[in-house]
Structure 1
Amino acid sequence: MGNLTWLYAKAALTGFTRSGSTLPDAVRDLRVDVDREHLTAYNRVCGFGVRDELPVTYPHVLAFPSQIELMTGPGFPFPLPGLVHVANRITQLRPLRADEPLDVKVQLGNLRPHERGRQFDVVSSVSVDGERVWVDVSTYLRLGGGSGDGSAREREEPPKPTGGWRVGGDVGRRYAEVSGDRNPIHLHALTARAFGFPRAIAHGMWSKARCVAAFEGRLPDAFTVDVRFKAPILLPGKVDFSAAPTADGWRFALWSKKPHLEGVISG
């Protein structure tokens, strides 16, 4: 996995001069052959078993360098620092295998207003032999200038936990190694404090992957897993995991004193 540190440095140096009201009409295409050692390392960090079938969240890290290239490239209107990853939806149309060459496509779209600012989607897809088999939609929020007219939110009550996880202080660094996402807020308390966090925080996509790993062996070949990221998980920490069956899948959540993630798996 390529080191994206230079792109984060570029974003820090030039990002705050960015402005605009449209997204660039740019696309990144690449062919990827899965590195089995990298896949094994990812599986271990996120809690998946080691096997030839790719976890549904794994192609996200293959597309991630192209996502960052688009968000630091010409015409992108927002500074990368300060963007908030608020949601991620992945649809798998069939299982993907480690021995399949993957054609990955990444593009930006759907810039729209939000009550707290503006949001947009980064859409990544994977095709095998011309057949689209996997789609990932990550939604990011740029804070500021929103309508602020959202209705008052009721206090949320935590669901009954079905398990609990201790999240080590090194999870941010370990996931950064396999994902390429070396955002300073995930790496060390000192660098996280520079961005307003008391300690380093876990990657949202790590927390999603860890939740999906809890369902391993119980999911159909084709399904969608949709999550909303609520509040960051401070490292180290402890979170409660809850899961409950629904008519066509599962509902799940991560909580501590506040909700961290809420998600739905539907077949």
Structure 2
Amino acid sequence: MGVHQVITGVAALRREPRADGPLDTQLLFGETFVVDEARRGWLHGRAEMDGYEGWVADTDLTPDVSPASHRVRALRTYVYSRPDLKSEPVHLISMNARVEAGERDGNYLQVQGGGWVHQRHLAALNAFEPDFVAVAERFAGTPYLWGGRDSRGLDCSGLVQTAFAAAGMPVPRDSGDQETFFAERWDRVDPASRKQRGDLVFWPGHVGIMVDETGLLHANAGYMETMVEPIDDAVARIMPGEGPVRTLVRRTLP
């Protein structure tokens, strides 16, 4: 049935074709979805961004695909009905949403669907952030949401995927796949060794990012938010349910 594009601020990708079906992940404004089946207001297919499969409400998608030229670099931004900050917002879209930027009016660029976004909140598709950790730190305080990858709610692997995407490195969606991905590309380090900023810490079913030697940034269900937690506290808290840290990886810079 072809490629469709997300036309809402964020679209739920669900395991089953119903509004209360389990949320597996989310698609952001402008992302594309390859549809292979339609069923009573739901479309089944695969997210082109990371290959995730599931069901999306047909009202969140359009078959009229606009080629993206920019991505959202702000944590989140409004799509306004007119190039005027006092006009009515049409959507609230999050970091890494993809837009086709067209006509310019003052500080605003028109995007697909006819709305307007402030140009300071956009970056060219090939303009990436230099520090994925700094990107992830901007999400501190964001509520935890299982399956979320939106600035209003995300889970542990959604945080990692979002931060790396902004830095120009596509990574898998789920923490287990991320663990395998990074273990094949980065250096594995003894989990008991001294940590460094940028280390990725993996438990079975969970991942976090070290912001320094002692602080672990992670979206976690224990506190239901994205936060920096002392790594020793996180290890002690997670141990009874998930066990010890399984993998610690570190990027070796050239």
Structure with the higher fraction of residues in helix conformation: 1
Higher RCO, 1 vs 2 (CA within 8 Å, ≥6 residues apart): 1
Structure with the higher fraction of residues in strand conformation: 2
Q: TM-score with structure 2 length normalisation? A: 0.28
